[in-house]
Amino acid sequence: MFSLREHFSVTKNDHLALHGIDLVDLCAEYGTPLFVFDEDCLIESFERFRRAFENNYSKVIVCYSIKTNNNLAICKAIREKGAYAEAASELDLCVAETAGFPGDRVIFDGPYKPEGVLRKALEDRVLLVNVESFAEMERLDRVAGEMGVEQAVGLRINPFKSHSFFANVNPKNLIRAVHGYPECRFGFSLRDAYSAYERATKLRNLRVEGIMMHPYHGAVRMLLPLMREVHERLGIETKYLNVGGGFRPETTKSVRYADLTLDLVRQELGLRSTLGDKGGSGEDIGLIAKSITDEVRRGLGDLPEPTIITEPGSFIVGPSGILLLRVDHTKSASEFKWVIVDGGTNIVPSISVFSRHEILVANKAASSPEEMVNVAGPLLYPDDVIAIKTYLPGVGEGDVLSVFDCGAYTISSSTQFLYPRPPAVLVNSRGEVELIREKETCEDVLRKDGLRRVRD
């Protein structure tokens, strides 16, 4: 017998239930595709993350990264537990405000901050603007001056260093090298960082209070020497040390090219696919938080102790969302059984052949997996897959697949390409079901095209 995740159970008629709520019944009521969010799981993930840091360090701010899932009910639920918000666009600022985050609990990030949006952020009195370029710094200083405010800023640092020719032609780097290492454009390079600080200290309407890097890997090692240098040479005290996001949920599983290649060889030899058993799982947040906070304490020396800011997104909201998809039909092609479902990368853009999302058949919840299938979405792209080489009980038309860990970068990143976007419900341990996003209609999609004018 397989093990079910916490909060899930199987009903007498073999249906998957969340907090006792039959998921097949939810599909009958709301249709498919349907996002189902577990409020308890959401809160537990947030609390686990916060505790992991607070158990090791006294001054911690957890900024929920709004873009990960900008649904108002989700944002509000996290805000009520004490989260701050990380906003990265005008839309994010608007979501944060509407979900009830006061300005002094919002930090403003992102590589593109037009003047009007900076103005809004300053009107909202955000806690920090994390500046990413000299141009942005000058613009922000001017806007702040015009508004008669002094704005606290952080500087986003990018640890990227130019690579040698040989490193560039290394197959591991080649594609990124050809694209000019796209990630290097965020923030100030280590080479420019000191001059950025120097420049910021000369701008009358900015007050440097923070330093930031994203994702968190290696952030403390990179940032502490710079904090020390600007403290000693420029007298800048770093109040906020922001290590960004990038914390993988403990339930996340993915495979690498090597695993896929090896599996292809197994397939050629007629052996069973082992992809389902693989997948580096997510990280232990307790260990990560401890290593970050230990590193900060060890490296600070006589520097004043900063508040550590974190910007988690996926860790908090990823595991709380499941996606229910209806099987439209199955077919055989290229030795595989293909299961065609009614939602794909249009609503889960981050899913790919590398992801290993757990899938259960909601109307055959206790049945054992018996056949290997590929699950594909409704789009016209070959890469529109939900899962490859996954083992499910025998499935056919009308069955409902529940795809786990679909809370992050789904609702906020989905498109209306070919299909209006699906609804979402929030459920909790009291057995309550709340519709938190209505199903879109074709009219909704067309409304901004001036549908009425066409009909006249």
Give dist(CA 154, CA 156) in Å, integer: 6
Give dist(CA 212, CA 156) in Å, integer: 5
* Among 22, 38, 39, 86, interactor with ligand PLP by CB under 6 A: 86
CB of 78 to ligand PLP, least distance (A): 13
Instruction: Tell me if 136 contacts ligand PLP by CB under 6 A.
Output: no
* Among 314, 320, 390, 402, interactor with ligand PLP by CB under 6 A: 314
Instruction: Tell me if 79 contacts ligand PLP by CB under 6 A.
Output: no
DSSP-assigned beta bridge partners for residue 326: 400
Give dist(CA 43, CA 63) in Å, integer: 14
Q: Closer to ligand PLP at the Cβ: 249 or 276? A: 249
* Among 113, 214, 364, 421, interactor with ligand PLP by CB under 6 A: 214
Instruction: Tell me if 321 contacts ligand PLP by CB under 6 A.
Output: no
Stretch that binds ligand PLP, among 52-60, 176-184, 202-210, 306-314 (CB under 6 A): 306-314
Q: Closer to ligand PLP at the Cβ: 65 or 133? A: 65
Cβ neighbours of residue 342 under 8 Å, at least 6 residues apart?
32, 33, 325, 326, 328, 377, 378
Distance from first CA to last CA of the chain, Å, rounded?
61
CB of 186 to ligand PLP, least distance (A): 8
Instruction: Tell me if 84 contacts ligand PLP by CB under 6 A.
Output: no
DSSP-assigned beta bridge partners for residue 376: 340, 385
Task: Supply 365's token pair.
Answer: 């919840």
* Among 312, 319, 344, 423, interactor with ligand PLP by CB under 6 A: 312
Give dist(CA 412, CA 213) in Å, integer: 23
Instruction: Tell me if 279 contacts ligand PLP by CB under 6 A.
Output: no
Site for ligand PLP in 96-115 (CB under 6 A): 109
Stretch that binds ligand PLP, among 169-177, 243-251, 320-328, 445-453 (CB under 6 A): 243-251
Instruction: Tell me if 405 contacts ligand PLP by CB under 6 A.
Output: no
In three-state secondary structure terms, 403 is strand
Instruction: Tell me if 50 contacts ligand PLP by CB under 6 A.
Output: no
Number of residues that bind ligand PLP (CB under 6 A): 15
User: What binding mask, one character per residue, do residues 163-202 give for ligand PLP by CB under 6 A, x or -?
Assistant: ----------------------------------------
* Among 244, 319, 344, 422, interactor with ligand PLP by CB under 6 A: 244
Stretch that binds ligand PLP, among 256-264, 311-319, 330-338, 379-387 (CB under 6 A): 311-319
Strands 151-158 and 321-333: unpaired
Helix axes 134-147, 115-123, angle to 10 degrees: 50
Stretch that binds ligand PLP, among 157-165, 227-235, 294-302, 313-321 (CB under 6 A): 313-321
Provide the 10 A C-beta neighbour count for residue 153.
25
CB of 11 to ligand PLP, least distance (A): 33
Question: Contact, 436 vs 74, CB < 8 A?
Answer: yes
Give dist(CA 413, CA 347) in Å, integer: 7
Give dist(CA 185, CA 133) in Å, integer: 9
CB of 110 to ligand PLP, least distance (A): 7
Q: Return the closest-CA partner of residue 56 out of 320, 345, 287, 352.
A: 287
Q: Return the closest-CA partner of residue 199 out of 155, 252, 254.
A: 155
CB of 244 to ligand PLP, least distance (A): 5
Instruction: Tell me if 407 contacts ligand PLP by CB under 6 A.
Output: no
In three-state secondary structure terms, 319 is helix
In three-state secondary structure terms, 306 is coil
Q: Return the closest-CA partner of residue 121 out of 110, 132, 5, 336.
A: 110
Q: Return the closest-CA partner of residue 335 out of 277, 386, 388.
A: 388
CB of 267 to ligand PLP, least distance (A): 32
Instruction: Tell me if 311 contacts ligand PLP by CB under 6 A.
Output: yes
Task: Supply 369's token pair.
Answer: 């997996």
Calculated CA dihedral for residues 290, 296, 301, 307, nearest 10 degrees = -110
Burial bucket for residue 121 (CB in 10 Å: 0-12, 13-18, 19+)? buried
Instruction: Tell me if 133 contacts ligand PLP by CB under 6 A.
Output: no
CB of 410 to ligand PLP, least distance (A): 12
Q: Closer to ligand PLP at the Cβ: 27 or 66? A: 66
Task: Supply 452's token pair.
Answer: 């009425």
* Among 33, 187, 313, 423, interactor with ligand PLP by CB under 6 A: 313
* Among 33, 210, 246, 344, interactor with ligand PLP by CB under 6 A: 246
Instruction: Tell me if 15 contacts ligand PLP by CB under 6 A.
Output: no
CB of 246 to ligand PLP, least distance (A): 4
Instruction: Tell me if 154 contacts ligand PLP by CB under 6 A.
Output: no
- Residues in the site for ligand PLP, rule: CB under 6 A? 65, 68, 86, 109, 214, 244-247, 311-315, 408
